[in-house]
Each structure stands twice: as C-alpha cells, then as structure tokens.
Structure 1
Amino acid sequence: MTDELMESRYHVGGMDCASCATKIETAVSRLPGVSTVNTSYTSETLRVQHTSALARSAIERQVKALGYTIASTDKAAAEGEGDEHLELGSGPWWQSKKAKLTIGCGLALAAAYIAGRLIPGIEHWAFLAALAVGLVPVARRAISAAFAGSPFSIEMLMTIAAVGAVVIEATEEAATVVLLFLVGEVLEGVAASRARASIQSLTALVPKTALLEQNGTTTEVAADSLAVGATILVRPGDRMPADGEIIEGESAIDEAPVTGESVPKRKGPGDMVFAGTINADAVLRVRVTAAARDNTIARVVKLVEEAQESKAPTERFIDQFSRYYTPAVLVAGALVAVVPPLLMGGVWSEWIYKGLAVLLIGCPCALVISTPAAIAAGLSAGARRGLLLKGGAVLEGLRKITTVALDKTGTLTEGKPVVTDIVAYDRSEADVLSLAAALETGSSHPLAVAILARAKADKAPVPPAGDAKAVPGKGVSGRVGGKTLFLASAQAAHEQVPLSPEQTAQVTAFNDEGKTVSVLLVDDKVAGLLAIRDEPRADAAAGLAALKEAGITTVMLTGDNKRTAAAIGKSLGIEVRAELLPEDKQRIVRELQGQGRVVAKIGDGINDAPALAAADIGIAMGGGTDVALETADAAILHVRVIDIANMVDLSKSVMGNITQNITLALGLKAVFLVTTVIGITGLWPAILADTGATVLVTLNALRLLGWKGRSAA
C-alpha cells in the first residue's frame, strides 16, 4: 500500500533571485518521498507534494541548511508558527540577515585597512580575518548546496575565487570581492522586495474594518469577518471593505486604485463594486458577494503568485543554459589559469589570478535573474491594471497572437439591453416612455429593465398602472388613467392594430440595426415605438482599432441571430460569424489554427468554455462565469475591450525588456573577460561587473512596474 500524497506550503525568507529558487527546488526534490516542488522567489513561496511518511521537519531542515528561513503556511501546521511566518518578510532591509552580514563584513574590512596602515606587519592577517567574516557563511552555503545537489552554485564560484586569491596572496582583493558580492546580494534582496511589494500592496487597499448593518443597527466589525450576504454601509470617502452589489444609494465610484482608470464610474442599485475602490459622494448600502479570501484583490494576488511559479519558455531555456554555463565557466577559469604557464611560459601567479577573475566574471547572477525579474514585474504590472495572466508562458505567448476571436454579448457589448430610440405618434416621447414604464413596473424581464432604466435616467414620471398582466408570447397590457395600454412586439401589435406603411418601415429599419422593437398601443391606436439593443461597450471600437493597428485580425463568434450580430459587427467593423453553438465556436477556433494563425479567444460565458480551452490563449472577461475564468489562461478583470490590446502590448514590453537584460548581462561579461585576459582589470572589477550587471538588469526589469497601458477613455 502506497503512502498518500499530500501538499505542504511554506513561506521562505531570503529568496532573492531565480538561482535561490533553483537551489531550494533541487535540495528539496532529493528528499525521499517528494513528488513535485514549486518555488517562486518573487512571492517567497514553496509548495511541496510528498508522501505522508515524509516529515515536514525534514523539508524545513533542508531549506534552513541552505541559509534560508522557512515557516509553514498550511492552516493546520501554521498554528503556533504564525508569528515566525509574519516576521519572514517584514522589517526594513537593513534588519535582514544578509544586510547584517554585509555591514559586519564592511566594518571588518575598514578595520583591517586601518590596522594595516597603523601596523603594516599585520596587514595580511587583518584582511584574512575580514575575509573570514564574509566568506565563512558564504562557503557554508556553498557546501550545503553542493551536498544538496547544486555543486556549481554562485556561492561555490565565489568561495573558490576567494580561497584562490588568498593562496596567491591577494588577500586584500579577496576580502573586497566578498564584500562586493554581499552588497550585490543585498541589492538583489531590496529589488526583489520591491517587486514583491508592488502586488502585495494591493491588499493594503482593503480597509481593516467595515460597518455591518444588522436588525436596524450599525456595528463596526473586522472586514475579513464579513460573510457573504451581509449588508454593509459605506460612507462617502470610505473604501469598499468587500466585493458586493449596491442595494441602495447611487454614487461615483473611484476605481483608480484597483484599475488605474482616472474617471470615477457612476453606480447604483444592482451594480457591482470591488473591494478597495473608493465611494466618492453618497452613502451606499451594499450586499457582500464574496468573503475576504475570495474578493477581487485577494484573487488577483493569489493568481499572480501562482502565475509566478509557472515559468515562461525563455525562463526555462535560461535555467537549462545556466546548468551548463556555470560548469563551463569553471573549466574556462581553470584553462586560463593553467594553459598559458604550461604551454606558453606564463607566470603562474599572474595567470592563476586571471583565472580566478574569469570565475567571478562568469557568475551567472545577472543572466539567471534577467528573465524571471522581468516576468514577475510584468505579471505584477498587469495585475494592477486588472489583467490576470496565469503564468509566464501566457505572458510570453500573447505577443505571438495573430487573430482574436471575440464573443458578442458581455464581451463586445455591455451584456444588458438599453432603450436606444423612442418614436412618438401624436404625443411626446416622454409620454410614450412614461406609459411603457408604468406597464413594466415590477417586471424583471431584460426589456422591461431597459425601459425602466431609461425612464429613471430621463427622470420620466411613472404613473401607477392597473390590471397590469403579461400576455404570453406577445407583451404586457394594463390601464393607466382610464386608458387601455398594450406594449407588445411589432407582430403582436400588428395583429391587434394594423401598422401604417410608415410605421412598418420604421420597425424594419430598427430591426436591420439589430434592435428589438416594442410597440405601445393606447386605446387601440399606435402611440409610439421603443427600440432596444444590447449596445457595444464604450471602448469596443477603440479596442478593435488598437488590435488592427498591431496587425491582429478580429472575428466575432456569437450565438445571437445573424441580423443583430451583423448590425453590431457593421458598427464596429469586425467580421461576424453568428448563430453558433459552443461546439461551432470551438470548431472555428480549430479551423483558424489550421490556417497557421495563433488564436486568442475572448468570452465570458459557459458556452465560451470549449473555445477558450481550444484557443492558443483563452481570455475570460472578468465579469463572466467561474467556468470561463477557470478554463481561460488569462482574465480581463474590468471588462475593457482595449485591455486585449494592452495584454499584447504588455507581452511585447516584457519580452523586449528580457532581450535588453540578456544583452546587458552577456555584453558586460564579454567586455570584462577580454579586459581581464589582457591584464587591464582584475578580481574586484570582475565581481563589480557581475554585481553591477545584476543591479542594472533588476532595475531595468523593475521599470515594467510603471507600465500603464492604454486608457479605456
């Protein structure tokens, strides 16, 4: 009988670059009973699938031996360890173990320099002592990593170079090199913390408390204690403590902290609000629709952290490359140190010195961090704009898209019908709207909701209606002010009162525009027409234009009728395929792929799930169903068509940044390799080059955190 597999989750402190994550993965995967290991240095997380026979303490010992701190984040195991967990990522950078070691090494080096000037005879021993302060912890980590399956670690290269420098009596330089290496590690940690904070800072947007309304009284409670269905009061100026639906009140909602959009949105009863957004100018009563752990911001943070564990193809290639690259550097350094003295009569001390410098130049820090730093920054920048990407592979793949297939309802359109036109005969348009709204009062039918919303927006009076009742398949009838009313489809109205040629022509014109027409009869006379349609989103035309500008073709795939779809397609300038079943959408995606196109499918409903799964990249509109969100590779949280182009732009920006980083990392190494071999530079410039390249690459990647994309406006 085999042991049952279980998963343990940990928070690991001190992971500052991709090589740290690789070392931990290698070490933990060697433990007996471990199935899979996933690490993310950007979110400082470790997930291990293992048999129940493997004790958690064994995993923790293995990680601690490499010089990292670790604490379980599993609910059951984390009891009593919560304080340690919280402390792992907290506090200013100068309080970290690496910073304290660096400061200690720097002080020791300064003291050695002063002692050497005052008492020249002890200079060598003073610098040797200063070297030991920094090198002993590094060497211990190198040896632990070697025993755990990573013999060619950066720490090992550093240890060999420092010890070799002591052998050839370059002790002062060896101590300086170790200090510069430690400074580089601290800078890596600061940069990694900044990238980490960029996404974690979203959680700070949610207030800690909320005003809970119960039995007519309001009580201040912890926001994370709010249950789904609870009613909360949100005052002007307050942040939303939870995702919810407005049940009373109307206000401008500032979504800039979450979406980046500068223009507040006017919202009222029935509209959804996100945790962390700001209620601008009126008191709102809101029904909570998601618990704290499931609100918009919590889902964003969780998805980004999970995405950072998924490596892009370029990142995987760099990881594989570095496995061969580091041993190759060791061989190159040995050849530089040995071949010239043996075959060309070179001076041993001079060429050993150059060989050690080659080891330092070859440190792969900058190269290894070039890709994951950019990917992490890109994922974080996208999340802050409401673009959720499930991994680096998705982020990298978006730039290759050549065709985008979009659903109509809820994707290109708002997903709810609105009254677009009112035509009145022998009375005012306002009167037609008032009488129609009177009949529809209390109805939840989409067309009724559209009419009532237009009446509210136009401030049209809605008189009480008597004897109001639905006429199955035809419309609704009733009495208002002694007059008999009938609001019906054009066909049902024509059966009761023949429409004039002019009225029939008007109905046909509206139908050709994809609009549904309701005819209002008053005392068996045609009083007016109301045209209703699910209108394109405000940014739909701009979003499609942005895709066209990027050289990407678009096509609408919809289950709606051909006339309505064609009307929307014509107004937006997009090819239309209508009256499709879910399997039809999937088939068309496959056909497009068969033509050599890289297809992204955008949708928000259950009927889009098969096509989303079939596409090269499936993108769910954030207001859609859970099925669509789970099936998709990415999600547009704030349902903006322009954000499809933004995703592509972000992908191109990230991949361009990665190219710059790799060029910078390898370019600097090439320059210093040449200058070292010809004798211009030595040990400390070599490590300074690697440290400098690492810092430059990281800073370049962090520029992506400022990415904003195109505005919906």
Structure 2
Amino acid sequence: MAHAVKTRFRIEGMDCASCAAKIDKAARRATGIHNVSVSVAAGTMVVEHEAEADLVELTRRVASLGYGIVPGAKSRDAKPVAAHDHEHVHHHDGDHECCSGHDHEHHSADTVRPATAGLHGHEHRAGEGPWWASAKARLTLACGLALAAAFVLAKLYPAAASSAYLAAMAVGLVPIARRAIMAAANGMPFTIETLMTVAAVGAVVIDAGEEAAAVVFLFLVGELLEGVAAGRARASIKALASLVPKTAFLEGEGKLTEVPAESLALGVTILVRPGDRVPADGTILSGETFIDESPVTGESVPKEKCPGDLVYAGTINQDAAIRVRVTAVADDNTISRIIKLVEEAQESKAPTERFIDSFSKYYTPGVMAVALLVAVIPPLAFAGTWNEWIYKGLAILLIGCPCALVISTPAAIAASLSAGARRGMLMKGGAVLETLGKVTKVAFDKTGTLTAGRPDVTDIVGAGHSSADVLRLAADLEVGSSHPLAMAILEKAGRIGIEPTPAVGAGAIGGEGVVGNVDGTSLFLGSPQAAEKRVPLPVELRSRIAALNGEGKTVSVLLANDRVAGLIAMRDEPREDARAGIEALRQLGIGAVMLTGDNRLTAEAIAADLGLEPRAELMPQDKQRIVGELRSAGEIVAKVGDGINDAPALAAADVGIAMGGGTDVALETADAAVLHGRVADVAGMVALSRATMVNIWQNITIALGLKAVFLVTTVIGLTGLWPAILADTGATVLVTANAMRLLAWRG
C-alpha cells in the first residue's frame, strides 16, 4: 500500500493547452510521480507523488521548457498546513484518503502541502504583476530592439547586414531553440518551438536572414499576446476575490474590534456599516437594510434584507448597519467556492477540445512532412529551384504552427465558464457546457426549484369578520410558532403592518390546529375537517374551500367563539421569475416537465400557472425512472432540483443542475448549479452554451481558414515567410479576441 503526497506548483508562462501538455509530459518523466494535473485557467500544476520523490528534478524539467515554476504557492482550495501535515492517498481499493498518525487536523481531499523546503529560499507567486514585466515581454522587447538595431546597421553598413540580422535573430531564437531541444529530450519532438527553430535556421541557410529575424520577433509578439489574453481570462473570475474586504468589525466583550476578514471563525458576530462590503457569508441577526448583490449575482436592483436573511461576502450594505452571524469561513464562502469550482471546471475538457488536442498531436508532424515534401519534390522531380522551394517549405512550416487551432476551444470555454460564474451559473467543465447547448427537455423539481420552498398566504376570506381581523387574530395565535404555515401567517401580517399580540393560553392540538384566547375571544385555527367537528361549515364556505384546494392551496379555518370568522389559504408559490424562465426555455425550443412528490391537485395548479406538464406524487426512484424514459425517447435531458432528494434523477440526466443559494450540496452533487435560485438562469446556461459553441466553430474556421488561404498563396509564390508568421500570429490574436468576447456575455 503506497502513500502519495499532493504538491501544488504555480506555473508562469503557461498560456494554452499546448503548454499544459508539454508541462504534463515533462513532469510525468520525473522519478516518483504518480499523477499530474495541469490547469491553464488557474496557472497551476498539482502533482501526486511519493513522499521521497525528488521535486528538484521535477522543477528542473519544467523550468527547462522555459516556464517559471514556484513550489508551495498557496491557493484557495488548500489552507496552509504545518510542515509535518501531509495529505496521504492510499492506492488500493477505492483510493481512500486518511491522515497520518501525527496529523490531528482533518483536511479536505483537495488539501495540498507546500513543496519540500530548499527548492527556493522563499515563497512567492509566479505570474503576478503586469504583463509588460513578464519574462516573455522582456525577451520580445530585447528581440525587437535587436531587430531595429540590425535594420539601422544594415542601412549604414550594408556589408554587415547579414551578420547583424543573424545576431538579432539569435536573441530571440536561442531561448526558443533551447525550449525545442528540452521538449524533444522530454519526449516531445514535434512542438511549435521545433517548427519555429527549423524554419528560422533554414531561412538563414538560404540567405534569408532578415526575414528569419523578423519571423522570430513576430513569433515572440504572438506568444506575448497569447499570454496577455490567457492572463485576462484567468483574472476575470479571480477578480471576484477582490470583492471581499480585507477587514471586518468583530463584536466581542462589549466592543468592536477591526480584524482581518480571513480570520473570522464560524458563529462569530460582525457589524457591517452602511456603504461597507459584507466581509463573510452570514445570517442577519438584527437590522434591516437593502443589499446590493450585483457584484456577485449581476442583479441591478438591491434586495431588502431583514433578520434571518442570508447575506453573501462581497455584496454591499446600502442603508443601515446590520449585525451578522458568520456562517462560512473565508476559504469556504460563496465567492471562494465559486472561484475554486470554476478553476476545477476549466480543467475538464469538452469533447470538442479533446478532439482538437488529439488532432493537433498528428497535425504538427503532418505539417512538417508536408513542408519537407514541398521543399524537396519539385527540385528533385520537376527541376525546381532548391532555394525557391526550400523557402516555400519553410513558409509552410510557419503557416502550420497550431497555436491558433489549439487555443480556439479552451479559450472560449474558459471565458464562458468565467462569464457564467460571475452571474451565478456554475458549470463544472467544458463537457457540461457543451452538453447544455444540446438539451431538448428540462425536468424541474417543484418545491424549492420552481417554487420558493415555503408557503405564502394567498387568500384571506372573511366570514363575519374583516380579512384584516382574520389575519390579525390568526397571527396572535401563531406568535412564537416555528411551523411553516404559522411562519407564513406571521410574515404576511408583518408585511401589511400588523403587530400580533400573543394569545392567552395558546397551545397546539395534535393533528388539528391551535387554540388560544384574545381579548376574551376563544379562538381556534386548524384544518377544515377539525373545524367541522366544532361547528358546521356553511355550504358556500365549503364550496370556497373546495375551490381553493383545487388550486393546490392549503386552507385553515378560523373560529371565534365557536363561529366561523374566516379562511386563510396558503400555497408554496412559484418563484417570481419561474413563468419567464419556462417561457425562455420554450423560445429556445426546449420543453419542460415538472416532477414532484407533492399531491396531484397542487402540482396541476402550479403547472397550469407556469405552463408546463406536471408529473405528481413521485418518489425519488420514480423521478429517476421518468428521466431515463425521456432519454430513451431520444431527449437530451437536464434535471433541475435541490441536489438532495433529487440526487438519483440528477445523476440519471444528461446534465444535473442544482438549484440553490450556493449550499455545499447544491455545489457538489450536480454537473451545474444555479447559485442564486433564478429559474431563468437554466435558459441562460443553455443560451451561453450555444453562444460558446458558435464561438468555438468561428475560432476553428478562422484558424484553419487563414492557414488554408496562405498555404495556397505560398505554394503559388504570392506570399513568403513574413506573411506566413503574420497569418499565424494574426489568427491567434483573432481567435483569442473572439473568445474573450464571451467574458462580456450578459444573457
């Protein structure tokens, strides 16, 4: 039974899937490495290795490819661990994890320890800082200055032109060639750097040194632009982290203390002043205010918040001071979990991306083979000029650089996942994102998904008393009760300004209702059946009760001194945007069905209100069976539920979508999550998926189309080395810019 340790590294200069593939392959060749996970989106590499593995060898291999590597960089998904606290992974049945005997603190499966000491004298983060201060920017600037100097020198001393351009080319080519050689030494002979090196050296051999120097410079410019774009995509979601304030006002011992927000523990009470950002997820203890949630949810209208309501880290308190009980530590608040899960999602490749990756493995050697044939066949078979055809072969090498093709899919997916997460739509990977666009049927749970998950007073009918009196007396009876129906009555009373007075002798009668006395009036509030035992109900009242029941509403009858005072009807009402959300799906050509364990009358009433097909009185296994039947009928099914009792159906669907406010279950059990409870966001996910797939195919068309055009123009002699590398650089820039448009997606 072998133990393995996970170590996280931060990688600098990794901009695309091709970079990640080279790093992955090089890392795996180091001794004692079990598994490697490289994330372009996060700029990290997590390595699972034997405890005694030589991490110096691993970092040397990665660094030899031209990438910066910093061991032990901290990340949001791993809190700092003491020097002897390791995460152990047992490679046997089920791949269980446990802690060593001396590690008394339980760590999550994602915890990683800092790399062994001695690799670097101190820890810092790679890749942070402005793009123009990066190693790539410095190399590009040096090569550009050398090329400019060579151009001036060639004009002043023509005899020195050849040597000047050769020196300028060497400034940029030596690092590129070194990366090509080290990649070959790590088992990757066919890389972009290899194409570049062969083309540049070949150009010098045929006395095209000026073009060779320009080509190297343009290649470096293209790489730099690619890095800038990758950094922007990476920063777009991480920018959420900056929304959380650095400090918080902690209550304790009768005073307020300003403390670091990341130090807040579960259950402590904090004060959030008007105008301040909320420093942690929590529940309001006291105070009423409006909270601007637009930084997290994208909603432009502030929400009214009262005691008992949830608030999220990073949102803005607008009107009044509130006291908040912290419900999540810094590493586990809504924003931190969104960022962590998006980074993990960006590592999960879509089918299209996997195909492009596989295709590119054969594409690069294929390009080299075609370039070789173009260079040698015309001179050998058709008496062509060697210099001319070698020049064309070299141009084809440059045209064939797969940068734009390789980045076409992951750039779009990373931007799309980030854009969705910023609006509370979390999709766990490219495969999920791609499948969402193909969905033809959405199966919704009812309670807590299409509805708010709690009853609301819908009708108050007076019978001898005014409706206001009926509500006031009912609220007096329910003061102090935590029953959902009682809470609905008290909330309704509060909304219209009724302040209930606790009834005298209030108490519950099991299975029937509650009794009490208010101002000498004996009261009873309970089911129609229990009320009928005490006093006969008029025929017209029975008809009204039957009609309300037919609408899926629960009816309570209020008796005052053994006379009917009125009725109160309640129902778990649809979410405000439920009807619009179903209609948005219909406009996308997607059908909807409601699967619920609730009674048939309630289900049919809600479904009729929303305009979708109901399936009622279902057990969890029934929901799973129906999802399976829909898929067997040829539908691509998305199941939307709360992630708990709907787990079997969520797993059975093509895509499982959890609806909730960022709860652990909602985030972990499904393929995607609607974090802010908006039904319309399900249609938003589908629309974003379809926009992403259109963007991907646009990118592939740009990448391959430009190459095809310049391939033809090069063979017939219209274009040469400069236009060839401009075509590749231009295609990379166009593809990246097109993908970045998705960052601005608003639905």
TM-score range, shorter chain: over 0.9
1:36 matched to which residue of 2?
Answer: 35
Matches within 5 A, 1:530-679: 530-623=568-661, 626-679=664-717
The answer to whether structure 1 residue 396 and structure 2 residue 396 are counterparts is: no
Instruction: Give 2:745's aligned residue.
Output: 707
SS in 2 for 1:152: coil
Distance across 1 between alignment mates of 2:43 and 2:662? 31
* 2:643 and 2:670 in contact (8 A); partners too: no
Q: Which stretch has the larger CA shift, 217-226 or 86-95?
A: 86-95
Deviation, 1:51, is: 2.8
C-alpha displacement of 1:239: 0.9
Counterpart contact for 1:411–1:604, Cα < 8 Å: yes
* 2:203 and 2:212 in contact (8 A); partners too: yes
**Aligned pair 1:77/2:114, yes or no?**
yes
Aligned CA distance change for structure 1 residues 532 and 699 (closer, same or farther; 3 Å):
same
In the alignment, what sits opposite 2:88?
Answer: none
Question: C-alpha offsets along residues 256-286 of structure 1, whole Å, 9 cap, x if unaligned?
Answer: 1111111111121111111111111111111
1:137 maps to a residue whose letter is: P
- Secondary structure of the equivalent of 1:534? strand
The aligned amino acid for 1:680 is: L
Instruction: Verify: 1:510 aligned to 2:510, yes or no.
Output: no
Tell me if structure 1 keeps the 8 A contact 2:507–2:516. yes
Is the 8 Å Cα contact of residues 604 and 625 (structure 1) preserved in structure 2?
A: no
Q: Does the aligned pair in 2 maintain the 1:102–1:179 contact within 8 Å?
A: yes
In the superposition, the TM-score normalised over structure 1's length comes to 0.97
Aligned partner letter, 2:51:
S
Letter in 2 for 1:59: L
Question: For 1:629 and 1:191, how far apart are their aligned partners in 2?
Answer: 29
2:666 touches 2:673 (CA, 8 Å); kept in 1?
A: no
CA distance in 1, matches of 2:28, 2:40: 17
TM-score w.r.t. the length of structure 2 is 0.93
**Structure 1 position 684 matched with structure 2 position 722:** yes
Q: Identity of paired residues, percent? A: 65
Separation in 2, partners of 1:311, 1:189: 20
Match of 2:17 in 1: 18
Deviations for 1:547-588, whole angstroms, at most 9, x for unmatched residues? 111111111111111111111111111111111111111111
Q: Separation in 1 of the partners of 2:262 and 2:116?
A: 19
**Counterpart-to-counterpart distance in 1, 2:618 and 2:401:** 57
The aligned counterpart of 1:56 is: 55
2:365 maps to which of 298, 303, 327: 327
Of 560, 572, 583, the match for 1:522 = 560
CA–CA separation in structure 1 for the residues paired with 2:518 and 2:250? 42
* Rounded Cα–Cα distance in structure 2 between residues aligned with 1:73 and 1:611: 39
Partner Cα separation in structure 1 for residue 437 and residue 234 of structure 2 = 25
1:638 match: secondary structure: coil
| Partner SS, residue 489 of structure 2 | helix
Equivalent-residue separation in structure 1 for 2:443 and 2:593 (angstroms): 5
Contact 2:594 2:612 (8 Å CA) reproduced: yes
Structure 2 vs 1, CA of residues 284 and 666 (structure 1 numbering), >3 Å: closer, same or farther?
same
Q: Give secondary structure in 2 for the equivalent of 1:287.
A: strand
C-alpha distance in 2 between matches for 1:304 and 1:464: 49
- Paired residues of 1:116 and 1:122 also in contact (CA < 8 A): yes
- Which one of the candidate residues 162, 187, 206 is aligned to 1:168? 206
Q: Do the aligned partners of residues 332 and 201 (structure 1) sit closer, same or farther apart at CA in structure 2, a change above 3 Å counting? A: same
Residue type of the alignment partner of 2:114: A
Q: Which residue of 1 aligns with 2:94?
A: none
Letter of the structure 1 residue corresponding to residue 318 of structure 2:
A
Structure 1 390/691 Cα, relative in aligned 2: closer, same or farther at 3 Å? same
User: Which segment drifts farther, 559-568 or 73-82?
Assistant: 73-82
Counterpart code for 2:632? G
Q: Tell me the distance in 2 between the aligned counterparts of 1:121 and 1:605.
A: 75
Paired with 2:380 and 2:468, the residues of 1 have a C-alpha distance of 101
Per-residue deviation, 1:55 = 2.3
State the distance in 2 between where 1:625 and 1:691 align.
44
Cα distance per residue 1:394-435 (max 9 Å; x no partner): 001101111111100000000011111111122221111111
Whether the 8 Å CA contact 2:360–2:406 is kept in 1: the answer is yes
- Matched to 1:73, the amino acid is A
Q: Distance in 2 between matches of 1:580 and 1:51?
A: 49
Greater helix content: 1
Q: Structure 2, unaligned stretches of length 5 or more?
A: 75-79, 81-112
Shift of 1:56: 2.2
| Residues 1:182 and 1:387: Cα distance change in structure 2 (over 3 Å) | same
Q: Does 1:277 align with 2:278?
A: no
Contact 2:32 2:54 in 1 (8 A): no
RMSD: 1.4
Residue 315 of structure 1 deviates from its aligned partner by: 0.4
**Alpha-carbon distance between aligned partners in 2 of 1:624 and 1:603, rounded to the nearest angstrom:** 13
Give 2:692's aligned amino acid.
V
- Structure 1: runs of 5 or more not aligned: none
2:336 to 295, 298, 316: 298
Q: Which amino acid counterpart does residue 742 of structure 2 have in structure 1?
A: L
How far apart, in 1, do the equivalents of 2:662 and 2:531 lie?
36
Q: How many residues align?
A: 708
Distance in 2 between residues matched to 1:53 and 1:396, nearest whole Å: 41
